[in-house]
Structure 1
Amino acid sequence: MAKIGIYGSSFDPITIVHLWTASTIAHRCKLDKVIFLPCSSKRQDKQMNISDEHRLNMLQMAIAGNEKFVVDDYEMHQLGWEIATYKTLKHFKERYPDDDIYFIMGADLLVDIGEGKWQKADELIRENKFIVMARDGINMLSAISKSPILRNADDGQTFHLIDKGLAMEISSRYIRDEFMRGGEPRYLMPDCCYDYIKEHQLYQNL
Protein backbone atom coordinates (compact mmCIF):
# COMPACT_ATOMS: atom_id res chain seq x y z
CA MET A 1 0.00 0.00 0.00
CA ALA A 2 1.45 3.34 -1.08
CA LYS A 3 0.96 6.75 0.50
CA ILE A 4 0.04 9.39 -2.07
CA GLY A 5 -0.29 13.14 -1.54
CA ILE A 6 -2.52 15.27 -3.79
CA TYR A 7 -1.05 18.77 -4.04
CA GLY A 8 -3.50 21.13 -5.72
CA SER A 9 -2.71 24.74 -6.56
CA SER A 10 -2.88 27.27 -9.36
CA PHE A 11 0.89 26.95 -9.96
CA ASP A 12 0.65 30.28 -11.75
CA PRO A 13 3.63 29.96 -11.96
CA ILE A 14 5.22 27.15 -9.94
CA THR A 15 7.84 28.42 -7.46
CA ILE A 16 10.74 26.91 -5.54
CA VAL A 17 8.52 27.05 -2.46
CA HIS A 18 5.97 24.73 -4.09
CA LEU A 19 8.75 22.27 -4.82
CA TRP A 20 10.39 22.62 -1.40
CA THR A 21 7.04 22.18 0.32
CA ALA A 22 6.25 19.02 -1.64
CA SER A 23 9.70 17.62 -0.95
CA THR A 24 9.48 18.40 2.79
CA ILE A 25 6.05 16.80 3.10
CA ALA A 26 7.07 13.73 1.12
CA HIS A 27 10.05 13.26 3.43
CA ARG A 28 8.31 13.90 6.76
CA CYS A 29 5.11 12.02 5.95
CA LYS A 30 6.90 9.17 4.16
CA LEU A 31 4.89 9.67 0.98
CA ASP A 32 5.64 7.42 -1.97
CA LYS A 33 4.25 9.89 -4.49
CA VAL A 34 3.17 13.53 -4.69
CA ILE A 35 0.69 14.35 -7.44
CA PHE A 36 0.82 18.00 -8.52
CA LEU A 37 -2.73 18.92 -9.49
CA PRO A 38 -2.95 22.27 -11.31
CA CYS A 39 -6.26 24.10 -11.11
CA SER A 40 -8.31 24.49 -14.25
CA SER A 41 -8.85 27.90 -15.81
CA LYS A 42 -12.54 26.90 -15.98
CA ARG A 43 -12.95 27.06 -12.20
CA GLN A 44 -15.56 29.55 -11.06
CA ASP A 45 -13.63 30.75 -7.99
CA LYS A 46 -10.21 31.38 -9.53
CA GLN A 47 -8.83 33.48 -12.35
CA MET A 48 -5.64 32.26 -14.00
CA ASN A 49 -3.15 34.61 -15.61
CA ILE A 50 -1.81 32.28 -18.30
CA SER A 51 -3.21 29.28 -20.14
CA ASP A 52 -3.56 25.78 -18.72
CA GLU A 53 -1.06 24.62 -21.34
CA HIS A 54 1.69 26.99 -20.17
CA ARG A 55 1.18 26.14 -16.49
CA LEU A 56 1.18 22.43 -17.24
CA ASN A 57 4.34 22.69 -19.35
CA MET A 58 6.22 24.50 -16.59
CA LEU A 59 5.08 22.01 -13.96
CA GLN A 60 6.34 19.10 -16.01
CA MET A 61 9.69 20.79 -16.52
CA ALA A 62 9.99 21.73 -12.84
CA ILE A 63 9.51 18.21 -11.46
CA ALA A 64 11.58 16.39 -14.09
CA GLY A 65 14.10 14.11 -12.46
CA ASN A 66 12.22 13.55 -9.19
CA GLU A 67 10.75 10.05 -9.29
CA LYS A 68 8.30 10.83 -6.46
CA PHE A 69 6.74 13.80 -8.27
CA VAL A 70 4.12 13.51 -11.03
CA VAL A 71 1.73 15.96 -12.67
CA ASP A 72 -1.92 15.17 -13.28
CA ASP A 73 -4.19 17.40 -15.42
CA TYR A 74 -7.43 15.78 -14.23
CA GLU A 75 -9.12 19.02 -13.13
CA MET A 76 -8.18 20.77 -16.36
CA HIS A 77 -10.50 18.42 -18.24
CA GLN A 78 -13.53 18.85 -15.97
CA LEU A 79 -16.45 21.19 -16.55
CA GLY A 80 -16.02 24.37 -14.53
CA TRP A 81 -19.12 23.99 -12.39
CA GLU A 82 -18.30 20.36 -11.60
CA ILE A 83 -14.83 20.98 -10.17
CA ALA A 84 -14.78 20.38 -6.41
CA THR A 85 -12.17 18.91 -4.10
CA TYR A 86 -14.62 16.30 -2.85
CA LYS A 87 -15.14 14.95 -6.39
CA THR A 88 -11.44 15.18 -7.19
CA LEU A 89 -10.45 13.11 -4.17
CA LYS A 90 -13.16 10.58 -4.98
CA HIS A 91 -11.61 10.25 -8.44
CA PHE A 92 -8.13 9.57 -7.07
CA LYS A 93 -9.37 7.12 -4.45
CA GLU A 94 -11.07 5.17 -7.24
CA ARG A 95 -7.90 5.31 -9.35
CA TYR A 96 -5.72 4.11 -6.46
CA PRO A 97 -8.10 1.87 -4.44
CA ASP A 98 -5.31 0.06 -2.60
CA ASP A 99 -3.41 3.16 -1.54
CA ASP A 100 -3.79 5.86 1.12
CA ILE A 101 -4.69 9.23 -0.39
CA TYR A 102 -3.92 12.49 1.42
CA PHE A 103 -4.97 15.98 0.38
CA ILE A 104 -2.18 18.52 0.95
CA MET A 105 -3.30 22.00 1.94
CA GLY A 106 -2.41 25.06 4.01
CA ALA A 107 -3.92 25.84 7.40
CA ASP A 108 -5.81 28.76 5.85
CA LEU A 109 -7.81 26.32 3.73
CA LEU A 110 -8.45 24.14 6.77
CA VAL A 111 -10.10 27.15 8.42
CA ASP A 112 -12.26 27.75 5.32
CA ILE A 113 -13.42 24.12 5.26
CA GLY A 114 -14.14 24.25 8.98
CA GLU A 115 -16.38 27.26 8.38
CA GLY A 116 -18.30 25.32 5.72
CA LYS A 117 -17.10 27.43 2.79
CA TRP A 118 -16.22 24.43 0.58
CA GLN A 119 -18.64 22.20 -1.29
CA LYS A 120 -19.66 19.14 0.73
CA ALA A 121 -17.42 20.26 3.59
CA ASP A 122 -18.80 17.68 6.03
CA GLU A 123 -18.40 14.76 3.62
CA LEU A 124 -15.01 16.02 2.46
CA ILE A 125 -13.61 15.93 5.99
CA ARG A 126 -15.41 12.78 7.07
CA GLU A 127 -14.29 10.66 4.09
CA ASN A 128 -10.70 11.83 3.51
CA LYS A 129 -7.28 12.37 5.07
CA PHE A 130 -5.34 15.62 5.10
CA ILE A 131 -1.79 16.87 5.44
CA VAL A 132 -2.06 20.44 6.72
CA MET A 133 0.83 22.90 6.48
CA ALA A 134 1.24 25.63 9.08
CA ARG A 135 0.54 29.23 8.11
CA ASP A 136 1.66 32.29 10.05
CA GLY A 137 -1.00 33.48 12.46
CA ILE A 138 -3.12 30.32 12.34
CA ASN A 139 -3.33 27.94 15.29
CA MET A 140 -4.21 24.64 13.61
CA LEU A 141 -5.27 22.84 16.80
CA SER A 142 -7.48 25.77 17.75
CA ALA A 143 -9.01 25.84 14.25
CA ILE A 144 -9.94 22.17 14.57
CA SER A 145 -11.37 22.51 18.07
CA LYS A 146 -13.53 25.53 17.14
CA SER A 147 -15.20 23.86 14.15
CA PRO A 148 -17.81 21.11 14.60
CA ILE A 149 -17.03 19.92 11.05
CA LEU A 150 -13.36 19.42 11.89
CA ARG A 151 -13.38 18.34 15.52
CA ASN A 152 -15.99 15.62 14.99
CA ALA A 153 -13.70 14.01 12.39
CA ASP A 154 -10.51 14.36 14.42
CA ASP A 155 -9.83 10.70 15.15
CA GLY A 156 -6.05 10.95 15.16
CA GLN A 157 -5.83 9.82 11.53
CA THR A 158 -7.72 12.50 9.59
CA PHE A 159 -5.29 15.40 10.07
CA HIS A 160 -1.49 15.28 9.83
CA LEU A 161 -0.36 18.73 10.95
CA ILE A 162 3.04 19.94 9.74
CA ASP A 163 5.06 22.94 10.84
CA LYS A 164 7.65 23.26 8.10
CA GLY A 165 10.06 24.91 10.53
CA LEU A 166 11.03 27.68 8.15
CA ALA A 167 8.87 30.52 6.90
CA MET A 168 9.05 30.79 3.11
CA GLU A 169 6.27 33.02 1.88
CA ILE A 170 7.41 33.63 -1.69
CA SER A 171 4.21 33.53 -3.72
CA SER A 172 3.27 33.09 -7.35
CA ARG A 173 1.64 36.52 -7.17
CA TYR A 174 4.92 38.10 -6.08
CA ILE A 175 6.68 36.52 -9.05
CA ARG A 176 3.94 37.66 -11.46
CA ASP A 177 4.21 41.21 -10.13
CA GLU A 178 7.98 41.19 -10.59
CA PHE A 179 7.68 40.09 -14.21
CA MET A 180 4.95 42.63 -14.91
CA ARG A 181 6.97 45.52 -13.45
CA GLY A 182 10.28 44.55 -15.01
CA GLY A 183 11.70 42.99 -11.84
CA GLU A 184 14.05 40.01 -11.58
CA PRO A 185 12.50 36.93 -9.89
CA ARG A 186 14.94 34.55 -11.53
CA TYR A 187 16.00 32.57 -8.46
CA LEU A 188 12.49 32.17 -7.06
CA MET A 189 11.67 29.40 -9.53
CA PRO A 190 13.46 26.66 -11.45
CA ASP A 191 15.73 28.01 -14.20
CA CYS A 192 13.82 26.08 -16.86
CA CYS A 193 10.56 27.79 -15.87
CA TYR A 194 12.17 31.22 -15.74
CA ASP A 195 13.55 30.67 -19.25
CA TYR A 196 10.15 29.43 -20.44
CA ILE A 197 8.41 32.55 -19.14
CA LYS A 198 10.96 34.82 -20.82
CA GLU A 199 10.76 32.90 -24.09
CA HIS A 200 6.97 33.03 -24.24
CA GLN A 201 6.76 36.56 -22.76
CA LEU A 202 4.34 35.49 -20.03
CA TYR A 203 3.07 37.75 -17.22
CA GLN A 204 4.20 40.86 -19.07
CA ASN A 205 0.86 42.68 -19.37
CA LEU A 206 -1.38 41.63 -16.49
Structure 2
Amino acid sequence: MGKIGIYGSSFDPVTNVHLWTASTVAHRCKLDKVIFLPCSSKRRDKQLHIDDSHRWKMLELAIENNPKFTADEYEMKEEAWNIYTYNTLRHFKAVFPNDDVYFIMGADLLVDIGKGKWAKGEELIAENKFIVMARDGIDMLKAISHSPILRNNDDGSTFHLLDKGLAMEISSTYIREELAMGGEPRYLLPDACYRYIKENKLYK
Protein backbone atom coordinates (compact mmCIF):
# COMPACT_ATOMS: atom_id res chain seq x y z
CA MET A 1 0.00 0.00 0.00
CA GLY A 2 1.34 3.39 -1.00
CA LYS A 3 0.66 6.95 0.15
CA ILE A 4 -0.44 9.54 -2.40
CA GLY A 5 -0.93 13.27 -1.89
CA ILE A 6 -3.32 15.32 -4.03
CA TYR A 7 -2.07 18.90 -4.26
CA GLY A 8 -4.65 21.21 -5.79
CA SER A 9 -4.08 24.84 -6.70
CA SER A 10 -4.56 27.26 -9.58
CA PHE A 11 -0.79 27.11 -10.37
CA ASP A 12 -1.18 30.46 -12.11
CA PRO A 13 1.80 30.26 -12.36
CA VAL A 14 3.43 27.39 -10.49
CA THR A 15 6.10 28.75 -8.12
CA ASN A 16 9.18 27.46 -6.35
CA VAL A 17 7.16 27.55 -3.12
CA HIS A 18 4.66 25.11 -4.63
CA LEU A 19 7.52 22.75 -5.46
CA TRP A 20 9.28 23.20 -2.12
CA THR A 21 6.01 22.62 -0.27
CA ALA A 22 5.22 19.46 -2.22
CA SER A 23 8.75 18.13 -1.70
CA THR A 24 8.71 18.89 2.03
CA VAL A 25 5.27 17.34 2.52
CA ALA A 26 6.32 14.24 0.58
CA HIS A 27 9.44 13.89 2.72
CA ARG A 28 7.81 14.47 6.10
CA CYS A 29 4.70 12.40 5.42
CA LYS A 30 6.52 9.61 3.57
CA LEU A 31 4.42 10.05 0.43
CA ASP A 32 5.21 7.89 -2.57
CA LYS A 33 3.69 10.35 -5.03
CA VAL A 34 2.39 13.92 -5.15
CA ILE A 35 -0.22 14.62 -7.82
CA PHE A 36 -0.38 18.29 -8.84
CA LEU A 37 -4.00 19.06 -9.64
CA PRO A 38 -4.60 22.39 -11.44
CA CYS A 39 -8.07 23.74 -10.76
CA SER A 40 -10.66 24.22 -13.47
CA SER A 41 -11.08 27.56 -15.20
CA LYS A 42 -14.82 26.77 -15.21
CA ARG A 43 -15.11 27.34 -11.45
CA ARG A 44 -17.07 30.47 -10.63
CA ASP A 45 -14.98 31.16 -7.52
CA LYS A 46 -11.69 31.28 -9.45
CA GLN A 47 -10.43 34.10 -11.65
CA LEU A 48 -7.56 32.74 -13.70
CA HIS A 49 -5.24 34.92 -15.75
CA ILE A 50 -3.96 32.75 -18.60
CA ASP A 51 -5.26 29.95 -20.77
CA ASP A 52 -5.35 26.43 -19.31
CA SER A 53 -2.85 25.23 -21.90
CA HIS A 54 -0.21 27.62 -20.53
CA ARG A 55 -0.82 26.61 -16.90
CA TRP A 56 -0.58 22.94 -17.86
CA LYS A 57 2.61 23.36 -19.90
CA MET A 58 4.37 25.28 -17.12
CA LEU A 59 3.36 22.63 -14.59
CA GLU A 60 4.80 19.92 -16.83
CA LEU A 61 8.04 21.88 -17.15
CA ALA A 62 8.24 22.48 -13.40
CA ILE A 63 7.92 18.86 -12.27
CA GLU A 64 9.56 16.94 -15.12
CA ASN A 65 12.74 16.13 -13.20
CA ASN A 66 11.15 14.82 -10.00
CA PRO A 67 10.01 11.17 -10.22
CA LYS A 68 7.70 11.61 -7.20
CA PHE A 69 5.78 14.42 -8.90
CA THR A 70 3.08 14.01 -11.52
CA ALA A 71 0.26 16.21 -12.81
CA ASP A 72 -3.35 15.36 -13.57
CA GLU A 73 -5.92 17.24 -15.68
CA TYR A 74 -8.94 15.70 -13.96
CA GLU A 75 -10.51 18.95 -12.70
CA MET A 76 -9.52 20.88 -15.81
CA LYS A 77 -11.54 18.45 -17.91
CA GLU A 78 -14.54 18.05 -15.60
CA GLU A 79 -17.83 19.79 -16.21
CA ALA A 80 -18.35 22.78 -13.92
CA TRP A 81 -21.35 21.27 -12.11
CA ASN A 82 -19.28 18.28 -10.98
CA ILE A 83 -16.20 20.08 -9.64
CA TYR A 84 -16.20 19.50 -5.90
CA THR A 85 -13.23 18.38 -3.85
CA TYR A 86 -15.40 15.57 -2.51
CA ASN A 87 -15.94 14.24 -6.04
CA THR A 88 -12.29 14.73 -6.93
CA LEU A 89 -11.08 12.64 -4.01
CA ARG A 90 -13.65 9.97 -4.72
CA HIS A 91 -12.22 9.82 -8.25
CA PHE A 92 -8.62 9.41 -7.09
CA LYS A 93 -9.53 6.82 -4.46
CA ALA A 94 -11.10 4.80 -7.28
CA VAL A 95 -7.96 5.20 -9.39
CA PHE A 96 -5.73 4.13 -6.47
CA PRO A 97 -7.90 1.66 -4.54
CA ASN A 98 -4.96 0.02 -2.78
CA ASP A 99 -3.31 3.24 -1.61
CA ASP A 100 -3.95 5.86 1.05
CA VAL A 101 -4.96 9.11 -0.64
CA TYR A 102 -4.45 12.43 1.18
CA PHE A 103 -5.66 15.88 0.22
CA ILE A 104 -2.92 18.48 0.77
CA MET A 105 -4.22 21.90 1.79
CA GLY A 106 -3.41 25.02 3.77
CA ALA A 107 -4.83 25.75 7.20
CA ASP A 108 -6.91 28.57 5.72
CA LEU A 109 -8.90 26.00 3.74
CA LEU A 110 -9.32 23.88 6.87
CA VAL A 111 -10.92 26.88 8.57
CA ASP A 112 -13.28 27.44 5.62
CA ILE A 113 -14.40 23.80 5.61
CA GLY A 114 -14.93 23.98 9.34
CA LYS A 115 -17.20 27.00 8.87
CA GLY A 116 -19.34 25.10 6.38
CA LYS A 117 -18.20 27.07 3.32
CA TRP A 118 -17.42 24.01 1.16
CA ALA A 119 -20.01 21.96 -0.70
CA LYS A 120 -20.33 18.48 0.81
CA GLY A 121 -17.90 19.59 3.51
CA GLU A 122 -19.06 17.18 6.18
CA GLU A 123 -18.93 14.19 3.82
CA LEU A 124 -15.54 15.38 2.60
CA ILE A 125 -14.09 15.34 6.12
CA ALA A 126 -15.84 12.13 7.15
CA GLU A 127 -14.57 10.07 4.23
CA ASN A 128 -11.05 11.37 3.58
CA LYS A 129 -7.62 12.09 5.04
CA PHE A 130 -5.85 15.44 4.95
CA ILE A 131 -2.36 16.88 5.21
CA VAL A 132 -2.78 20.42 6.52
CA MET A 133 0.00 22.98 6.15
CA ALA A 134 0.46 25.84 8.60
CA ARG A 135 -0.59 29.36 7.70
CA ASP A 136 0.48 32.45 9.65
CA GLY A 137 -2.02 33.41 12.32
CA ILE A 138 -4.04 30.17 12.24
CA ASP A 139 -4.09 27.74 15.17
CA MET A 140 -4.96 24.47 13.48
CA LEU A 141 -5.87 22.59 16.67
CA LYS A 142 -8.26 25.37 17.68
CA ALA A 143 -9.76 25.40 14.19
CA ILE A 144 -10.56 21.70 14.56
CA SER A 145 -11.85 21.89 18.13
CA HIS A 146 -14.07 24.93 17.39
CA SER A 147 -15.81 23.32 14.40
CA PRO A 148 -18.42 20.55 14.82
CA ILE A 149 -17.77 19.43 11.23
CA LEU A 150 -14.07 18.95 11.89
CA ARG A 151 -13.99 17.66 15.45
CA ASN A 152 -16.85 15.17 15.09
CA ASN A 153 -15.28 13.57 12.03
CA ASP A 154 -11.73 13.34 13.37
CA ASP A 155 -10.84 9.78 14.29
CA GLY A 156 -7.26 10.63 15.14
CA SER A 157 -5.91 9.97 11.66
CA THR A 158 -8.09 12.37 9.64
CA PHE A 159 -5.69 15.31 9.88
CA HIS A 160 -1.89 15.26 9.61
CA LEU A 161 -0.92 18.75 10.77
CA LEU A 162 2.39 20.21 9.57
CA ASP A 163 2.98 23.22 11.77
CA LYS A 164 6.74 23.72 11.60
CA GLY A 165 8.41 25.64 8.80
CA LEU A 166 5.67 25.46 6.18
CA ALA A 167 4.30 28.99 6.19
CA MET A 168 6.16 30.54 3.25
CA GLU A 169 3.90 33.14 1.69
CA ILE A 170 5.39 34.00 -1.73
CA SER A 171 2.35 33.65 -3.94
CA SER A 172 1.41 33.35 -7.59
CA THR A 173 -0.39 36.67 -7.14
CA TYR A 174 2.86 38.38 -6.15
CA ILE A 175 4.64 36.95 -9.21
CA ARG A 176 1.83 38.02 -11.55
CA GLU A 177 1.92 41.54 -10.12
CA GLU A 178 5.67 41.77 -10.53
CA LEU A 179 5.49 40.63 -14.15
CA ALA A 180 2.63 43.03 -14.92
CA MET A 181 4.60 45.98 -13.51
CA GLY A 182 7.88 45.10 -15.18
CA GLY A 183 9.38 43.59 -12.02
CA GLU A 184 11.84 40.71 -11.87
CA PRO A 185 10.51 37.61 -10.05
CA ARG A 186 12.90 35.28 -11.86
CA TYR A 187 14.10 33.32 -8.86
CA LEU A 188 10.63 32.78 -7.40
CA LEU A 189 9.63 30.22 -10.01
CA PRO A 190 11.37 27.43 -11.94
CA ASP A 191 13.76 28.61 -14.66
CA ALA A 192 11.86 26.73 -17.37
CA CYS A 193 8.60 28.38 -16.32
CA TYR A 194 10.22 31.82 -16.21
CA ARG A 195 11.53 31.33 -19.74
CA TYR A 196 8.14 30.08 -20.90
CA ILE A 197 6.41 33.16 -19.47
CA LYS A 198 8.87 35.48 -21.18
CA GLU A 199 8.70 33.65 -24.51
CA ASN A 200 4.90 33.71 -24.52
CA LYS A 201 4.56 37.22 -23.02
CA LEU A 202 2.26 36.05 -20.24
CA TYR A 203 0.90 38.13 -17.35
CA LYS A 204 1.54 41.45 -19.06
Question: Is the TM value for this pair above 0.5?
Answer: yes
TM-score normalized by structure 2?
0.99
Whether 1:150 and 2:181 are equivalent positions in the alignment is no
- Aligned to 1:40, the other structure's residue is in SS state coil
Letter in 1 for 2:190: P
| Alignment-derived partner of residue 165 in structure 1 | 165
TM-score normalized by structure 1?
0.98
- Could you tell me how far apart the structure 2 residues matched to 1:147 and 1:136 are? 19
1:138-187 deviation per Cα after TM superposition (whole angstroms, max 9, x unaligned): 00000000000000112110000002415421000000000000000000
- Could you tell me how far apart the structure 1 residues matched to 2:82 and 2:97 are? 22
Letter in 1 for 2:173: R
Letter in 2 for 1:72: D
Letter in 1 for 2:187: Y
- Could you tell me how far apart the structure 2 residues matched to 1:164 and 1:177 are? 29
Letter in 2 for 1:11: F
Whether 1:116 and 2:116 are equivalent positions in the alignment is yes
- Aligned to 2:199, the other structure's residue is in SS state helix
- Aligned to 2:123, the other structure's residue is in SS state helix
Letter in 1 for 2:91: H
Structure 2 residue ranges without an equivalent (≥5): none
1:44 is displaced (CA, Å) by 1.5
- Aligned to 1:8, the other structure's residue is in SS state strand
Superposed, 1:62-101 pairs within 5 Å as 62-101=62-101
| Alignment-derived partner of residue 200 in structure 2 | 200
Superposed, 1:30-45 pairs within 5 Å as 30-45=30-45
- Could you tell me how far apart the structure 2 residues matched to 1:82 and 1:44 are? 12
Q: Tell whether the 8 Å contact from 1:103 to 1:130 is kept in structure 2 after alignment.
A: yes
Distance 1:166 1:45, change over 3 A: closer
| Alignment-derived partner of residue 134 in structure 2 | 134
Q: Tell whether the 8 Å contact from 2:134 to 2:166 is kept in structure 1 after alignment.
A: no
- Could you tell me how far apart the structure 2 residues matched to 1:167 and 1:45 are? 24
Letter in 1 for 2:137: G
- Aligned to 2:17, the other structure's residue is in SS state helix
Q: Tell whether the 8 Å contact from 2:105 to 2:132 is kept in structure 1 after alignment.
A: yes
Q: Tell whether the 8 Å contact from 1:144 to 1:150 is kept in structure 2 after alignment.
A: yes
Percent identical = 74
1:24 is displaced (CA, Å) by 0.2
- Could you tell me how far apart the structure 2 residues matched to 1:49 and 1:190 are? 19
- Could you tell me how far apart the structure 2 residues matched to 1:165 and 1:11 are? 21
Count of matched residue positions in the alignment of Structure 1 and Structure 2: 204
Letter in 2 for 1:41: S
- Could you tell me how far apart the structure 1 residues matched to 2:167 and 2:86 are? 29
**Greater Cα shift, 77-86 or 15-24:** 77-86
- Could you tell me how far apart the structure 2 residues matched to 1:19 and 1:162 are? 16
Q: Tell whether the 8 Å contact from 2:9 to 2:38 is kept in structure 1 after alignment.
A: yes
